[in-house]
Amino acid sequence: MTLPRTVVFDLDGTLVDTAPDLIAALNYVLDREGLPPLPFESARNMIGAGARKLIERGLEVEGRVTSVDDLNRLTRDFIDYYADHIADASRPFEGLEVALDELKALGCRFAVCTNKLEWLSKRLLDQLGLSGRFSAICGADTFGVAKPDPIILQQTVARAGGAIATTIMVGDAGPDVGVARRAGVPVIGVEFGYTDVPIAELMPDRLIGHMRDLPAAVESLSRIASRS
């Protein structure tokens, strides 16, 4: 069986359950603006498009319109706070490391392609002891483009030493499915992440509800690719 050489992961809501720390940082900046905190469940699905968009969405819920300068200031405040609390409560999703071990034994390499800033992504994965598992960790600022622009995925794969023709994307939301489709890469959707549109409605090639199911999903897509 021919396995892809590169499996590329989204970060927030796919590899790591980062919602507790991201929402804490969001509520920190809202509080500084004199606004009430957002409930965890309603804020959870606002995650996935980067810090600036998360803040914009949080302000919209409160009916707050802000200037570009104020949004820039709030984003800086958010990042400063979040960087200091990046792994207070964030943890890898259950079964992740076992799944990575199984796939590595089958010859896969791994990369991260996220709309989080690269240095924050590396800091998070460093603190969780996961950085060494990935051949490349690339964020929205790495190449100057964000998902779903296919360039970010193409360049991430190249940096990891892989090839698009033998790549599978794993993600939890629209930008992940979109970047995979635009790059011509099959995509596995995870059902436990952060999305305002149910991942099943986005029609990924495979759906998984737990990381234990990831190796089988990768192998299934690999068999299809090897026959085409």
Q: 134 and 108 in contact (C-beta within 8 Å)? A: no
163: left (phi over 0), alpha (psi -120 to 50) or beta: beta
Please state, as a whole number, how many other Cβ atoms lie within 10 Å of the Cβ of residue 60. 12
Say whether 113 sits in a helix, a strand or coil.
strand
Q: Which of 76, 144, 147, 102 is nearest to 7 (CA)?
A: 102
Please state, as a whole number, how many other Cβ atoms lie within 10 Å of the Cβ of residue 174. 18
Whether 80 sits among the annotated catalytic residues: the reply is no
Residue among 10, 172, 176, 205 flagged as catalytic: 10
DSSP string computed for 44-98: HTT-SS-HHHHHHHHHHHTT----HHHHHHHHHHHHHHHHHTTTSS-EEPTTHHH
Pairing of strands 91-92, 16-17: antiparallel
Task: Report d(CA 86, CA 123) in Å as an integer.
Answer: 8
Residues labelled catalytic: 10
